[in-house]
Amino acid sequence: MLVNRLHASEALSRPFEFTVELLSDDPGIPLKDVQGKLMSIALVRKDGSLRYFSGRVFGFSLKRVDGGVSFYEARLAPWTKYLSLRKDNYLFHYTTLYQQASSIFGDYANLADWDWRVQGASGVMTDCCQFDETDSNFLERRWAAAGIFYWFEHSATGHTLVLSDDSGAAPAIDGGHPEIPFQRHGGAVEEDGIAEWSPGRRITEGSVTLASYDFKAPQPAFTSLPTLHRQGEVLHVESYEYTGAFGFKDGGDARSVAQTRMEALEAAGKHFTGAGNSRQLMPGRWFRLTGHVGRGTTEHDEQAREFLIVEVIHTASNNYHVSTTAPSHYENALLCVRKVVPWRAPRSHHSSDTKIHGIQTATVVGPAGEEIHTDMYGRVRVQFHWDRAGASDEKSSAWIRVATPWAGENFGMVSIPRVGTEVLVQFMDGNPDRPIITGMVPNANTLPPWALPANKTQSGILSRSTPGGSYDNANALRFEDKKGQEQLWLHAEKDQLTEVEHDEDKWVGNDRRKTVDRDETSHIKRDRTETVDRDETVTVHRHRTERVDRDERISIGENRSEDVGIDETISIGSNRNETVGRNETISVGVNRSKTVARNEKDKIGRNWSVNVARMKTETIGMASMQNVGMGRIDTVGMAYNLNVGMVMATVVGRSQTTKVGKVVSVSAGEKIELVCGGSKFVMTPDAIYLESKDIHIKASGTVHVDGPADVHLNSGSAKSPPEGDGENGA
């Protein structure tokens, strides 16, 4: 096949497009045999060198057949055209732009031929998301945002993608010197040069202002950069852009981003268009224009005459269809900027920002064996369902923030999504690199805590003990809203701590039951009031200890019954007063022992009755005194025994009567003495003395007086009774 015509468009940061008209005498060339092949067209320059236009055939068609000549059309594009055909969903973790390009280019076998001349843009990005977009769009939008541009270098064997971030370092055109003369069309022989040259301007923004927000330093950050481009007397217009979350890292990064934005605008502020036939022109190169002096420049002002080639459109023909001897033709049109002006591709130059406007779901992931994987901000990692490369582990994504209904300065609500939970993910400003979790949804593996629809009237919270907890290991708060069966259920899997810093009121409309399987401790630091409107029953199955540090008062409106199964011990440190308004009955089943360390005083307003069924023993360590205001009656059913260790005294204010049914026996070891006024009767072991003013002896029968020795009557030998010895208790 012969090349008859070539229309070639190539530009910075755009894939080239070559349309080639080919002639053949074979109208039956299989079209698919040509598709995908590398095709190179050589353009002969004036100095004999060749300029190649090399590309892959992405379109091939038979246009017409005329006079036995078949006209074919081939559409050539760079190997990167394949990148615009493949759409992918992929997450790049902790990579640089170079690593992202290398990873993607590695999927294109031996086609990828590229040269990375970028000096900056080496920062590592935590997560970069390629979502539902072509490889080409993903790379080009990120290159443009970073100020990276590209062009293609051609050879007979292919073409190379060249990437750079410094247009000032662009190489000069081929040919050994960078000069291209300016010359008008005309003359017998036209030299290679530029025949038309036209500068142009357009008003651009006067400054760039950027804003961003980083939740780790939660204050909006701003940076502003004015243009260095002198535009004349025009209105200053600001380009204010909110770059979203993490639009820049710090002040230095902010200025770098703003400068990149500004340089992209300035590059479009002044441009130069031209046309001619110089076959040295190609984008990504620079040249020096000679023979043309613009306004404000001189022939010696080299910097003002150096231009960076941004775009070239080539038209070339061999005119074989006209005549085999017809001369070939070549011309071009070009777009340039001054070489000293940095050139950046606008971000929408050959790509568009990918946006995710809807909600997605993803699964929370973490290291093997961990059920909760989070950081100090409560962030989690997820595995997106579209991520084929992720391993569902802690490397599947960067940390992602989790929205909560309430967040404040160490207050609010927290519920960290656990590993395996399906979460709702939205993207701030639609940016795929800025996901945020806004909710959680159940699925077949994570069903709701209570079976539905059977428990559709229930709502609440059921947690899960971790690690290794099951359905039965949880804290819970559940609301049952079924009419007539309403219930609030609170469950603590282990401990429940309740803190009320002021008052707490509880109202129970019906019954209240409380069960404590082990111990209960209540500490009330001030007063306690308990009111039971009806009955109270307290059952203590073992021991009970009650301590009142000061006073205790018990008031019982009617009756009180106290039942002690075995023993009762009451210890009173000081005094005890017991008042019974009417009656008191004490019943002791077996024995009763009462010990008073010092004094005991019983005061009975009217009557006192003591009934001892068998025996009563009363022991008094020193003295006993009993005072009865009026009468006292002691009744002993059988025997009465009074034992006094030393002295006993009985004082009767008026009269004393002793009545014995049968026998009275009085025994004294030393003396028995009876005294009544001046009369006295004394009995000793040796004698009996009777003394009185008058002594009368009267017997209804016989009076017997008998003495073994003598009986003295009026003999003056009778003795008076001996005096008392002071031991009568008087």
Arithmetic mean of pLDDT, 350-375: 95
Residue 205 in this model has a pLDDT that exceeds 90: no
Tell me the C-alpha distance between 116 and 125, whole Å.
18
Arithmetic mean of pLDDT, 632-661: 77
Residue 160 in this model has a pLDDT that exceeds 60: yes
Band (30; pLDDT cuts 50, 70, 90): very high
Residue 295 in this model has a pLDDT that exceeds 60: no
Q: Are residues 240 and 169 in the same domain?
A: no
Q: Are residues 316 and 225 in the same domain?
A: no
Q: Say if residues 269 and 263 touch (Cβ distance below 8 Å).
A: no
Band (324; pLDDT cuts 50, 70, 90): low
Tell me the C-alpha distance between 218 and 216, whole Å.
6
Q: Which two tokens stand for residue 67?
A: 């006079």
How many separate domains does the chain show?
4
pLDDT mean across residues, the chain: 88
Q: Are residues 251 and 175 in the same domain?
A: no
Residue 189 in this model has a pLDDT that exceeds 70: no
Is residue 14 domain-resident?
Answer: yes
Tell me the C-alpha distance between 671 and 692, whole Å.
19
Arithmetic mean of pLDDT, 679-691: 89
Tell me the C-alpha distance between 81 and 228, whole Å.
36
Query: By C-alpha distance, which of 250, 245, 248 is closest to 401?
Result: 245
Tell me the C-alpha distance between 364 and 366, whole Å.
7
Q: Say if residues 149 and 142 touch (Cβ distance below 8 Å).
A: no
What CATH number is given to the structural domain containing 385?
A: 2.40.50.230
Look up residue 269 and give its amino acid: G
Tell me the C-alpha distance between 353 and 431, whole Å.
8
Query: By C-alpha distance, which of 685, 682, 673, 675 is closest to 718?
Result: 682
Q: Are residues 314 and 445 in the same domain?
A: no
Is residue 331 domain-resident?
Answer: yes
Helix (H, G, I), strand (E, B) or coil at 473: coil
**H-type helices in 299-431, by residue range?**
none
pLDDT recorded at residue 297: 56
Lowest mean pLDDT among 310-324, 347-361, 619-633, 698-712: 619-633
Q: Are residues 256 and 373 in the same domain?
A: no
Is residue 96 domain-resident?
Answer: no
DSSP 516: -
Q: Which two tokens stand for residue 649?
A: 């005294």
663 HSE (CA, 13 A, CB side): 4
Residue 80 in this model has a pLDDT that exceeds 50: yes
Residue 725 in this model has a pLDDT that exceeds 80: no
The structure's pTM equals 0.74
Tell me the C-alpha distance between 420 and 381, whole Å.
11
Residue 720 in this model has a pLDDT that exceeds 50: yes
pLDDT recorded at residue 729: 46
Band (321; pLDDT cuts 50, 70, 90): low
pLDDT recorded at residue 58: 97
Domain end marker among 223, 240, 267: 267
Domain end marker among 225, 245, 267: 267
Q: Which two tokens stand for residue 38?
A: 């590398």
pLDDT recorded at residue 73: 97
**Tokens 């142009």, located at residue:** 200
Residue 662 in this model has a pLDDT that exceeds 80: yes
pLDDT tens across 592-608, in order?
777 777 777 777 777 76
Q: Which two tokens stand for residue 535?
A: 């009955």
Q: Are residues 374 and 454 in the same domain?
A: yes
Q: Are residues 401 and 423 in the same domain?
A: yes
Output 729 or 616, whichever has higher pLDDT.
616
Q: What are phi and psi of 445, to 5 degrees?
A: -90, -20
342 HSE (CA, 13 A, CB side): 17
User: Which helix (H) or strand (E) covers residue 214, if one does?
Assistant: strand 207-214
Is residue 593 domain-resident?
Answer: no
DSSP 79: G
Q: Are residues 399 and 445 in the same domain?
A: yes
Output 642 or 722, whichever has higher pLDDT.
722
DSSP 709: S
Arithmetic mean of pLDDT, 371-395: 96
Residue 625 in this model has a pLDDT that exceeds 80: no
Q: Are residues 418 and 317 in the same domain?
A: no
Is residue 142 domain-resident?
Answer: no
Q: What is the dihedral angle through the alpha carbons of 447, 452, 455, 459, rounded to the nearest 10 degrees?
A: 50
Residue 730 in this model has a pLDDT that exceeds 50: no
Tell me the C-alpha distance between 197 and 333, whole Å.
10
Residue 165 in this model has a pLDDT that exceeds 50: yes
Is residue 123 domain-resident?
Answer: no
pLDDT tens across 111-155, in order?
999 999 999 888 899 999 999 999 999 999 999 999 999 999 999
Q: Which two tokens stand for residue 626?
A: 């009993």
Domain span at residue 188 reads 1-88+148-199+271-338
pLDDT recorded at residue 187: 44
Band (611; pLDDT cuts 50, 70, 90): confident
Residue 101 in this model has a pLDDT that exceeds 60: yes
Domain end marker among 247, 267, 287: 267
Is residue 212 domain-resident?
Answer: yes
pLDDT tens across 231-259, in order?
888 899 889 998 888 888 888 888 988 88
pLDDT tens across 420-433, in order?
999 999 999 999 99
Helix (H, G, I), strand (E, B) or coil at 19: strand
Residue 726 in this model has a pLDDT that exceeds 60: no
Query: By C-alpha distance, which of 75, 71, 119, 113 is closest to 96?
Result: 119
Q: Are residues 320 and 374 in the same domain?
A: no
Q: What are phi and psi of 83, to 5 degrees?
A: -65, -25
pLDDT recorded at residue 356: 95
Band (587; pLDDT cuts 50, 70, 90): confident
Output 136 or 626, whichever has higher pLDDT.
136
Count of Cβ atoms closer than 10 Å to residue 204 Cβ: 19
State CA 607 to chain mean position distance. Answer: 79
Query: By C-alpha distance, which of 434, 372, 367, 430 is closest to 398?
Result: 434
Q: Are residues 219 and 298 in the same domain?
A: no
Is residue 300 domain-resident?
Answer: yes
Inter-residue long-range contacts of 35-38, CB under 8 Å, 24+ positions, other chains counted: 35/59, 35/60, 38/157, 38/158
Cα distances (angstroms) measured from residue 552 to each of 70, 81, 576: 122, 97, 12
Q: Are residues 63 and 152 in the same domain?
A: yes
Helix (H, G, I), strand (E, B) or coil at 71: strand
pLDDT tens across 501-558, in order?
999 999 999 999 999 999 989 999 999 898 999 888 888 888 888 888 888 888 888 8
Band (417; pLDDT cuts 50, 70, 90): very high
What CATH number is given to the structural domain containing 177?
A: 2.30.110.50
CB neighbour list of residue 718: distance below 8 Å, 6 or more residues apart: 712
pLDDT tens across 492-517, in order?
999 999 999 999 999 999 999 999 99
pLDDT tens across 166-188, in order?
999 999 999 889 999 998 765 43
